[in-house]
Structure 1
Amino acid sequence: MHTTHRPTRRLMLGAAVALAAPAVWRSALAQGRLRPTPSQTEGPFYPVALPADSDGDLLVQGSRRYAKGHAAQLEGTLTDTEGRALAGGVVEIWQCDAQGHYHHPGDGGRADADFQGFGRVTVGADGSYRFRTIRPAPYSGRTPHIHLKVRLGSRELLTTQVYVQGDPGNARDFLWQRLRGEDRTALTVAFEPAGDALRARFPIVVAA
């Protein structure tokens, strides 16, 4: 006598869970990914020629010392969206001096020669980077900001700008005003007292 075995409720539930598992796993993975740092325009003042000294200390060039403005340290980590350090990645920053002038022909060559104005560091195994510079200064039409670019080998992964939390110029800045919600939060950081200088942390996440 042939007996037909009907699937029990438990078996049917188990099969449904097995079928759904890959989708649930993919959803959980997606939720665990880090949000990429928002990009912004490069602006007109990326250096035409890089300074002979283009390390991470923008306040010292050989015997020259830049003592204007408020010394600040900008630091953080460079990771991909899975949180993995991008060892070998290169972080660049450039900004105006304390009087609001860039080392660029388009700005009339008026920048203080004692201010390096551009820095570049290669990220190590832990993904950390650090620059010694000044708290960004305003110039005509713009709130204080630091330009930042990330490269990995021959690829350019990110160009953006870093803003100062609580600066009154932000509310009048057209690029800062265009940022929405999480993007504005991601690019606006606190420059807090740390001894004789200020310190700001800016984590960078890129889709590598």
Structure 2
Amino acid sequence: MPAPSLPPTPSQTVGPFFAYALPYAEGPFAVSEDHPDAIELHGRVLDGAGEPVPDALLEICQPGLFGRCPTEADGSYRFRTARPDTYIPLLVFARGLLKPVWTRVYLTGDAPFLAGLDPVRRGTLVASPSGERSYRFDVRLQGDRETVFLHHVPPRG
């Protein structure tokens, strides 16, 4: 007699979030305002139709720095962090995603990693200056000018 088969369990999408453990005391402020290398990173999270995603959660993680920021009703977010040596890792949690997506935010387009990308795709990883020590980076989850998302493979060992 064959073993009974179990029905597949559906995957769950990210959110809606149970907010108990999500608040982070420093929130989007990874460094103080008077930090000598402080910059502001801001932008919007947009869906495939170009509409704002009002309930996404973004995290940045640089050596010794961490920030977490929910998006506002218009899809906007804002971090204060330190100018990176190369890029700022950005993790995006949003409705409809089975897993968070990971990308990089470059402040200039001259990093060696970017040289290997198609110029149109390269532009989705480079923030635009928007004032003194301020950069705009919009995350497009799908569609025209979709942000390049990377697959992270942890090291073996």
> Structure 2 CA distance, aligned partners of 1:189 and 1:55?
21
> Structure 2 CA distance, aligned partners of 1:166 and 1:157?
25
1:59 alignment partner in structure 2? 31
Indicate conservation of the 8 Å contact 1:135/1:191, yes or no. no
> Structure 2 CA distance, aligned partners of 1:202 and 1:86?
15
1:158 alignment partner in structure 2? 101
Structure with a larger share of its residues in helix: 1
> Structure 2 CA distance, aligned partners of 1:199 and 1:132?
9
Describe the SS at the equivalent of 1:160: strand
> Structure 2 CA distance, aligned partners of 1:123 and 1:156?
18
> Structure 1: which amino acid aligns with 2:141?
V
Which of 131, 134, 152 aligns to 2:82? It is 134
Percent of pairs identical after alignment? 29
1:47 alignment partner in structure 2? none
Indicate conservation of the 8 Å contact 2:45/2:140, yes or no. yes
2:51 alignment partner in structure 1? 84
Cα shift at 1:120 = 0.9
For the aligned residue pairs, the C-alpha RMSD in angstroms reads: 2.6
| Alignment of 1:147 onto 2:89 | yes
Indicate conservation of the 8 Å contact 1:158/1:206, yes or no. no
| Alignment of 1:203 onto 2:145 | no
Structure-to-structure mapping, 1:170-181, within 5 angstroms: 170=111, 173=112, 175-181=113-119
- When structure 1 is superposed on structure 2, of 175-184 and 86-95 the one drifting more is 175-184
**TM score, norm. by length of structure 1:** 0.51
Cα shift at 1:72 = 0.6
Unpaired runs of 5+ residues, structure 1, are 1-51, 96-101, 104-116, 138-143
| Alignment of 1:72 onto 2:20 | no
> Structure 1 CA distance, aligned partners of 2:137 and 2:27?
18
Cα shift at 1:67 = 2.5
> Structure 1: which amino acid aligns with 2:92?
V
Cα shift at 1:74 = 0.3
Describe the SS at the equivalent of 1:81: coil
Highest CA radius of gyration, 1 or 2?
Answer: 1
The number of residues matched between the two structures is 120
Structure-to-structure mapping, 1:4-153, within 5 angstroms: 53-60=25-32, 67-68=35-36, 70-95=37-62, 102-103=63-64, 117-137=65-85, 144-152=86-94
Unpaired runs of 5+ residues, structure 2, are 1-23, 144-157
**TM score, norm. by length of structure 2:** 0.66
Indicate conservation of the 8 Å contact 2:58/2:68, yes or no. yes
Describe the SS at the equivalent of 1:136: coil
Describe the SS at the equivalent of 1:176: helix
Describe the SS at the equivalent of 1:161: strand
Cα shift at 1:157 = 4.4
> Structure 2 CA distance, aligned partners of 1:126 and 1:93?
20
Indicate conservation of the 8 Å contact 1:157/1:206, yes or no. no
